[in-house]
Amino acid sequence: MILTDQVYAQAALLAGQLEGNQVDILRALCAAATASLTARLREGLRPEDCKADFIASASLYALAALNAVKDGDTLEQFTAGDLTIRKSASADPASNVLRNQAELMIAPYLKDRFCFRGV
């Protein structure tokens, strides 16, 4: 099983029941998350060197993106007189939590992040 398939398998497990084209969207998001994280790894590291953290992190990134896509058709801005209502998918708390958790998990292996590994 290739790495992208492993990321998709974990993301699909965490996502639960997917509807319609969400399966294809999640598969594409998993491939994008895998490619993006691979490019961000420190010099000399491969995804296989941190496989469990890599798969978990990439799957969480894909789920955060899927959540944003699902919310993408929601209200962006509505104005009536002095009242403005705006909902942005990027401000979605669930997506932000997933993205932050993914970043914390993979941070020790990235070239563009700093984290404490222990004292």
Residue 81 pLDDT > 70, yes or no?
no
Q: What is the pTM of this model?
A: 0.76
Radius of gyration, CA atoms only, the chain: 17
Q: Is 80 exceeded by the pLDDT of residue 93?
A: no
Q: Mention every residue, 6+ apart, whose C-beta is less than 8 A from residue 92.
A: 67, 68, 71
| Dist. CA 103–CA 106, nearest whole Å | 5
What mean pLDDT comes out for the span 46-75? 84
